Structure formats: C-alpha cells, structure tokens
A and B are shown apart, each in its own frame.
Chain A
C-alpha cells in the first residue's frame, strides 16, 4: 500500500498518470519498519488517511486513490468521417502529429481539419514553414479565411542567423562553389525553422486559437529531426489544459513522445484517374481525356494516448477527390 503513495510536489505541479513514475516521485514512509507495515495493513482506508494528515512529515503525500485523474480531452473532428472513425478525432490540448511522404495526403487532412474548425468559428493559425499553402485548395475544402491566420515563413523573412546575408550578383552566384551553395541553403532552411519555432512559441503564448498548425511537410528530414526535443516538450506543455490543438505535419516523426496522437500516411501506389466521356469511344489513352481524380489516402494510427494501453496499428483508407478539373473538361 505504501509503495503506491505518490508525493504531490508543488514544484513539479500535478502528478501525471502517464508520466513515468521515477523513484524520486514515489516516497516511502520515513520508517518503513515491519511494525508500521503491519499497522498499515490492519487499518482501514479512512484511518490511514487520518494518519497521513496527522503526521507532519506525511502531510503532503497524496494517496494513489486520491490522485487527480486527467479528464478525457475534448475531441475535434477532422472533417473526414473515416479519419474520425479511426482516431476518434483529434484531442485538444495536445500535440498531434501527421507524417508521410509527398502526395500521401497530409495537406488534404490539414485542409479538412482547418476548414472544419474555421467553419465552426474558431480562430486557427497556420505556420507555413515553406510557404506552400494554396488558398484555392483551401477554398475548395470549404475554409473560412477570416478565421485563419497564415504565417508565411521563408524567403522574405529576416534571416536571424549570425551571418548577415550579402546580396550577390548573378554572375558571382554562378561561380559559387557547390559547398557554399549548400551552406547557404542550409542556413536558409535553419532560418525558416527558427522563424517557425519562434512563431509557434508566440502563438501558443498568446492563446485563444482553436488549431495551431506547424507545417514541416517540405522540410528535409535531416532538418526536421534536428529540432530539439525540448521545443516539442515546451509546445506540448504550452497547449496542455488549453482548448488549442497543436497539429504537426512532416515527412518523418519528429515530436516523438510529445505527440499524443501519431498518424502515419502511406504514399500513392497508383494514380486515381478516370477517362472522360469524350475520350472513351476512342479507346486510346488521350491525355486530354484523362482526369486526375484524387488521392487514395492510406493511414495508420501509430500512437494515441486516448487509450491507456498502446494500441495496435489500425489501418484505414479513403479517397480524396481532386477539385477544379471537372469544370475545365
């Protein structure tokens, strides 16, 4: 019984059920003598509680039975029924990570989630690391732009690295060595990531957003992986107990244990297309007659903290239709 007593230390805040229980958190009674153990076994739960209150040294000990249980988080719909069915929705107050290769449907899910949230009247923020957001796709997904704050990191932003960027003429840049070009590109990528992390920090501190998205989809894996884990812990801590959902898009998982929900998407095997009525009688593959129909989304739920035990991977598949081409045919 005493081994289940957890010290509720004010400095560390509320003890978490999901946090690893280190030895420092489990405090044994000061005199764990066999007599005391026997005494503890013999008394009722209420008597033990009184004993703890009476003993000055054990005043701050909270019984395991009285530990505050973290309430189930509020769930946000992605706007795609299949994903809602698979994940149970995206939990607010936590970090959700969606990753996969190019053309796997990450942005499609993002647009759908943002569209659903902005239609509900929530203020959302998108930190676009590579400045790749397409407003027309967002409009087709049904987004309410008035509720979306789009932050475009990248080329025109201020390079905050120590070395100031010196403008070069075209002729001089032509003769740049490959190493220097690579170094410049690396600096540029880091500057973009630095901007994004600072922006996310400010947005989370500001509070009041329904969904905050950090889009690392086009950031090379080697850069995304080198974002310090402390940043993700900080972000997770900032959104905890708030109605904000922090959504992370990437090519590889980089938030690791900080993510409450991890969704992996697979790449496309084939191209979903259809042949238009104009092209079918000819029975030949005419590119004019073909139509890109959309993406086939295959996803796997890798981790969720909605369940106490680690879940098994669950696969699901759906298709996302393309927009705009029907009008042109």
Chain B
C-alpha cells in the first residue's frame, strides 16, 4: 500500500499568489475582518522572516516595508482547493479531501502508469506547481504518516515502508497536533502545553514514553497519538468524488475600466482553468464569463430616489441587476452592483487558453460591459477532449481553433450574424433561410462518406439577388411588362424585349408577415447584350420590384 499526501503551506496566501504570481517574490500578508478592525490572517514565509505574525493589526503590518497587503478571498481559496483536488485526481481516482490545504491519495497500483513512488511524488509537486500551488508532497505506507511527512518536511519526501518511526521522529509535536482534525484548537493548545510541561519536543520523545503511563494519563487519545507518531495507524481512506466544476474568480481592488488590463486577468484565469481541465484530461465547449460591475448612481439633493444611469451595450445575456439601496443618503455618489455575463459556445471541445482569450477579447470588444469591472468569474463546462485523427484522404478542412478565431475576427469586420452556413427553411417565402454557425466538422460527421460527384453534372442557371430588392416603375402592355425603369440603378431600364410569367405564389396568410407575389422573367437589351432579370410584383403593396438577375 502507498499513499501520497499533498499539503499546501500557508494555503490562503497560496490561493492569492495563484491569482497574482508576481507577488511571490515579496512579503505578503492577508487581512481579514471589516475595516477598520482588520487583522492579519495569514502570511507567507518572507513576511514571517520580516517579523510579521498572524493576529497583528493592519496598522502594525503596514509598518513593515515592502509588504503587500491583500484581503482574504474565500472564492479564490475554494478555487485553489478545487485545483488541488484536480491535481490529485489526475493521478488516482481514490482521493481523500482531508482539509482545504491537504489531500491524500491512494497511489497503490499506479506504478505501472506513472512510475515509482518517488517519481509520482515529484510529478505531483510539478503538477501542483503548474496549477499555481507550491505544495509539499510526501509518500508513505499509510495516509497519516504521509500527512505528517507532508506537513513536516518541505518539498518532496518519500518514506519507505518500515522507516516511518525513524523518519517521523524528528518532526516537532505541533505538526502532529495540526494533523488532528478531530480535536478543537483549544484542546490542541492544552495538549501542546502538557507536552511542553512533560519536556517533549518531537515525535520521537513521545513514542519513547511507556504506553501504559501514557494511557494512565491521557487515555486512548494518548495511545493514538503515540501510534500516529510511530506512523503505525492503519485506516481506510475516505475517497471523495469531486464535482467537475471548473470555475475561477478574481476580486479586484480597484475597478477596471479598460479592456486591455482585463485581458491580462482573463488570460491568467484561462490558464488556470485550462490547466485544471488538462489535469482531468478534459476540454471545454462552453465558457461562461461573469463580471460584477460598479455602477455609479448620482443623487440629486432634491431627489430622494436614485437615478439609475444608462449602461450601454447590454445584450440578452445580461442578468438582472441586483439593486441595493445606497448606504448613505447624504452621499453624493453611491455604488450599485450589476452583473454582466457572456457565454462563449464552441463547436468543438478545445483546450487552448490563447484561443479562448482571443475569442473573449473579440467578444468583449463587440459587446463591451459598459461599466467598471470589480469582480470576474470564469467557468468552463467540461467536455470530452476531441480526438484529432488526421487522414491522408480526408478533404481539406480548417483547424477548428483557427476557424473559430477567424470567424470571430470576420464577425468583427462584417458584423455579427453576417456569416455562417445556410439552413434552408421549409417554405417558398423569399429569403427563407437562416444562417447558422459554420462547422465543417459536423458536416464531416453527418456525411462520413463524401458524396460521389455526378459525372453527368450540368450547369444550372443561378440567380443573383438584389438585397434589398430594387423598386421599379413598370409599364404594362396587354397585362405584361413592356417597359422598366429603375431609379436606383439606371442600367436596369429600357424596353422589355422578352418576358415570361407571371408565376403567382403566396403564403403565410395567417401570419402578420403574409406574402403574395407575381414573378416575371424579363430580358432587357443593354450594350453588353441581353440581361435577364426577375421582376416581382408584390400583390399586397402593389409595388414592382427587381428581385435579381440571372447570371
């Protein structure tokens, strides 16, 4: 049996550093509480070296030069914990969610897949580092020994079976007490004082005590602590099936106004989401972006009710505003929170953070949020990764990632809804078609075998449509068009030298958009020869329209 434990020291700090890796090189302290009673909640090693400690007030902490202060973020901590679980799940399906900063996984039988335990431990540490978490990893023959080693030794440590007592003996007693999740902090403090009075400093000194004497003084708890110190506790792992939720968030200290700095943050979040997806061998087909906006409300002195300013460019996806009354009626400017969300749907499952970032940038450029951004949530809907199997005899087709980017860029040029593949509607109504997302992959799936080309194919005369149709003045002779004059295009004017028709059609008479028309095929003589047009008389409005030309 072999168990690995991943432990992230200073977990709340690591959660913040995961979102802001630039802060890793300097002292960082996290504050908790409501201003002005904020206190230091957690610090990193550099801050510890600078003399800071948990429980200090903000004022005391600010006296330390070069210290970065951040507020504790539970959302980022939960995202970091989810990332830790993803990291463990990528190596073994049996993962125990021991604590927010600790996971234990059963790596028995994975040697054939990932190599010896030492390599697995190194790979676990590397994977955690890729996910933005600097973690200690330990491998031992039982979960508790692995936990103690991970908490006590930094970096990667591997304890061979039978060497637990010797290796764990050097660890201080507070490591053992920190591992016990079932005891309260008060009880832990009591035990620590008691061990101090007994003159115990490390686990070896605890294991050296006679079991009977410990049992007399501490009962079963003491014996259990001794067993833990020896690394001899055998227990069953409690595996957890973590849900496939890939969400990352970041709370900003100052609201963002420009899209360019937003792109940096989005890029960081996308990197994290993609790393987590990759660790589970998954991709995504749908990305949700939610922004918390800060909307300023101006209060007039005469008015009691606030005036909501207009937020431009809100689209259908916008969520309803969660309005809250301004905290102070006397304040000239108050803030109100609103949300803006966008969904990016992809035709195929992808896992390329750069492509996602570019697509989000193009989307936000087309649909700007319209107000400063305070908080960002980004979540990905997991999907099975696409199996890309090329073939020598498969017709050329654009790469899905490139195609999505290209289409988004073209949509930025020609306008949204102006490109795609055609879906004909079951109607004779003119312009009876829809534009849908162009996805040649689906076409490949639907037509797994390419249609054989008809050897006896013959040309079919095509029509070119004038959009919108050109209004024309038509002179009739014996009920047939004899002369045509189009005001907008002078070249579509003259005597009709030939005509055929009319072909009457109508439909949708039960709908508000009913249509009824007579179609004529006519020919006009021009300097370049005969030109054929389709002339339409709208029976509802009585207008003559040149609908298109045969070409």
Does B532 contact A292, Cβ atoms closer than 8 Å?
yes
Complex Cα gap A110–B500 (Å): 26
Q: Which of B248-256, B277-285, B447-455, B538-546 contacts A (4 or more CB under 8 A)?
A: B447-455
Contact string against B for A residues 90-116, beta-carbon threshold 8 Å, 1 for contact and 0 otherwise: 000000000001111111111110011
Most buried by A among B412, B423, B459, B466: B459
State the Cβ distance, B16 to closest chain A Cβ, in Å. 40
Tell me if A316 is interfacial: C-beta within 8 Å of chain B: no
Q: How far is the CA of A288 from the CA of B519 in the complex (A)?
A: 11
CA distance A267 to B549 in the complex (A): 13
Partner of A142, one of B398, B402, B454: B454
| Chain B residues near A320 (CB-CB < 8 A) | 458-461
**B324 CB-CB contact with A under 8 Å:** no
In the assembled complex, A145 has its CB within 8 A of some CB on chain B: yes
Q: 15 A-B contacts, Cβ less than 8 Å apart?
A: A79-B457, A101-B531, A103-B531, A103-B551, A107-B464, A108-B460, A121-B447, A122-B397, A123-B397, A141-B459, A144-B447, A156-B418, A157-B413, A157-B418, A158-B415
Let me know if B531 and A268 touch, CB within 8 A.
yes
Kindly state the separation between the CA atoms of A156 and B532 in the bound complex, as whole angstroms: 28
Q: Given known contacts A268-B531, A270-B530, is B460 in contact with A147 (CB within 8 Å)?
A: no
Residue ID in chain B nearest A276 by CB atoms: B500
Query: Is A80's beta carbon under 8 Å from chain B?
Result: yes
Whether the Cβ atoms of B465 and A132 lie closer than 8 Å is: yes
Q: Measured between alpha carbons, how far is A268 from B450 in the docked complex, in Å?
A: 36
A229 to chain B: closest CB distance in Å? 22
Kindly identify which residue among B460, B461, B467, B502 contacts A132, using a CB–CB cutoff of 8 Å. Answer: B467
A residues within 8 A CB of B502? 287-288
State whether A116 touches B420 (Cβ < 8 A): no
B145 at the interface (CB under 8 A from A): no
Shortest A233–chain B CB gap in Å is 21
**Nearest CB of A to B442, in Å:** 7
For B397, B414, B453, B462, the residue with the greatest tally of chain A CB atoms inside 10 Å of its CB is B462
Q: Which residues of B contact A101 (CB under 8 A)?
A: 526, 528-529, 531
CB-CB contacts below 8 Å: B413-444 with A = 413-415, 417-424, 433, 435, 438-440, 442-444
Q: Does B90 contact A (CB under 8 A)?
A: no
- Assess the A271–B523 pair: CB atoms within 8 A: yes
Q: Which residues of chain B are within 8 angstroms of A205 by Cβ–Cβ distance? A: 406
Chain B 508-551: CB-based contact to A (< 8 A → 1; otherwise 0): 00000000000011010010111110000000000000001111
Q: Name A242's closest neighbour in chain B (CB-CB).
A: B396
**Cross-chain contact B451 with A144 (CB below 8 angstroms):** yes
CB of B198 within 8 A of chain A? Answer: no
Distance from A194 Cβ to chain B, minimum over Cβ atoms (Å): 8
Interface residues of A in 122-136 (CB under 8 A from B): 122-123, 131-136
Closest chain-A Cβ to B139's Cβ sits at a distance in Å of 47
Q: Does the CB pair A122–B395 fall under 8 Å? A: yes
Q: Is the CB of B551 within 8 A of A208?
A: no
Using a Cβ cutoff of 8 Å, how many contacts connect chains A and B?
261
**Residues on A with beta carbons closer than 8 Å to the beta carbon of B405:** 206
Q: Mark A136-166, 1 if CB is under 8 A from B, else 0.
A: 1111111011111111111111101000000
Contact of B466 among A132, A141, A323 (CB under 8 A): A132
Mask, A198-235, CB within 8 Å of B = 1, is 11001101111110000001100000000000000000
Interface centre among B466, B502, B532 (most CB of A within 10 A): B532
Contact: B467 with A131, CB < 8 Å? Answer: yes
Q: Is the CB of A135 within 8 A of B433?
A: yes
- B461, B465, B549: the one contacting A294 at CB < 8 Å is B461
Instruction: Establish whether residues A145 and B422, one from each chain, have CB atoms under 8 Å apart when the complex forms.
Output: yes
Answer whether residue B403 sits at the interface, using C-beta atoms and an 8 A cutoff.
yes
Nearest 5 pairs between A and B by C-beta? Answer: A267-B529, A208-B398, A146-B443, A101-B528, A320-B459
A291: interface (CB < 8 Å): yes
CB distance A323 to B460 under 8 Å?
A: yes
In the bound complex, what is the Cα–Cα distance between A199 and B418 (angstroms)? 12
Of chain A, the residue at the smallest CB distance from B440 is A123
Name A105's contact: one of B410, B459, B548 (CB within 8 Å).
Answer: B459
Task: From the candidates B418, B447, B500, name the one contacting A151 in the complex (CB within 8 A).
Answer: B418
Q: Is A304 an interface residue (CB 8 A)?
A: no
New A-B pairs, 4, CB < 8 Å, besides A288-B501, A295-B550: A150-B435, A206-B402, A268-B523, A323-B460
The residues of A that contact B439 with a CB separation of less than 8 Å are 146
For the complex, give the distance between the alpha carbons of A132 and B547 in Å: 10
Q: Is the CB of A102 within 8 A of B415?
A: no
Contact across chains for B438 and A149 when beta carbons are under 8 A apart? yes
Which of B417, B459, B463 lies in contact with A80, CB distance below 8 A? B459
A322 lies within 8 A of chain B by Cβ: yes
Interface size for chain A: under 10, 10 to 19, 20 to 34, or 35 or more residues? 35 or more
Whether A244 sits at the interface, judged by CB under 8 Å, is yes
CB of B25 closer than 8 Å to a CB of A: no
Complex interface: chain B residues within 8 A of A141 (CB): 459-460, 462
Within 8 Å of chain A (Cβ to Cβ): is B399? yes
B409 within 8 A of partner (CB):
yes
- In the complex, A135 Cα to B466 Cα: how many Å? 13
B549 CB contacts on chain A under 8 angstroms: 102-103
Asked if A240 lies at the interface with its beta carbon under 8 angstroms from chain B, I say no
Q: Which of A79, A106, A151, A266 lies at the interface centre, i.e. has the most chain B CB atoms within 10 A of its CB?
A: A151
Q: Does the CB pair A160–B413 fall under 8 Å? A: yes
B37 on interface, CB distance cutoff 8 Å: no
Name the residue in B406, B480, B499 with the highest tally of chain A Cβ atoms < 10 Å from its Cβ.
Answer: B406
Interface string of A269-301 (1 = CB under 8 A from B): 111010000000000000110111011010000
Contact residue among A108, A147, A158, A244 (Cβ-Cβ distance under 8 Å from B413) = A158
Please indicate the chain A residues that have their CB under 8 angstroms from the CB of B413 in the complex: 157-158, 160, 195, 198-199, 202
* Chain B residues within an 8 Å CB radius of A209: 396, 398
A249 to B: closest C-beta gap in Å: 9
Residue of A nearest to B423 (CB): A145
A308 to B438: give the CA distance in the assembly, Å: 40
Are B530's CB and A149's CB within 8 A?
no
Q: Which residue of A lies closest to B366 (CB)?
A: A158
If A132-B465, A149-B419 touch, whether A207 touches B398 (CB-CB below 8 Å) is yes
Which residues of A are found within 8 Å of B442, using beta-carbon distances? 146
B462 and A107 contacting across the interface, CB-CB below 8 Å: yes
Query: Does B236 sit within 8 A of A, measured CB to CB?
Result: no
- A150, B467: Cα distance in complex, Å: 15
Query: Inside 8 A of A121's CB, which chain B residues have their CB?
Result: 394-395, 443-444, 447, 450-451
Which chain A residues lie closer than 8 Å to B403 at the CB level? Answer: 206, 208
Q: Mark B483-518, 1 if CB is under 8 A from A, else 0.
A: 000000000000001111111000000000000000
Is the C-beta of B446 less than 8 angstroms from some C-beta in chain A? yes
Tell whether A318 is near chain B: CB-to-CB under 8 Å.
Answer: yes
Contact A206 B443 (CB under 8 A): no
Least distance between B292 CB and chain A CB atoms (Å): 29
The answer to whether A144 touches B443, judged by C-beta atoms less than 8 angstroms apart, is yes
Are B422 and A150 in contact, with the CB atoms below 8 A? yes
Mark out the residues of chain B between 378 and 409 whose CB falls within 8 Å of any chain A CB in the assembled complex. 394-399, 402-403, 405-407, 409
- Asked whether A253 is an interface residue with its Cβ less than 8 Å from the other chain, the reply is no
Interchain CB contact under 8 A, B415 and A217: no
Q: State in angstroms the CA–CA spacing of A80 and B455 once bound together.
A: 9
B413, B444, B503, most chain A CB atoms within 10 A: B413
Quick check: A137 and B463 within 8 Å, CB to CB? yes
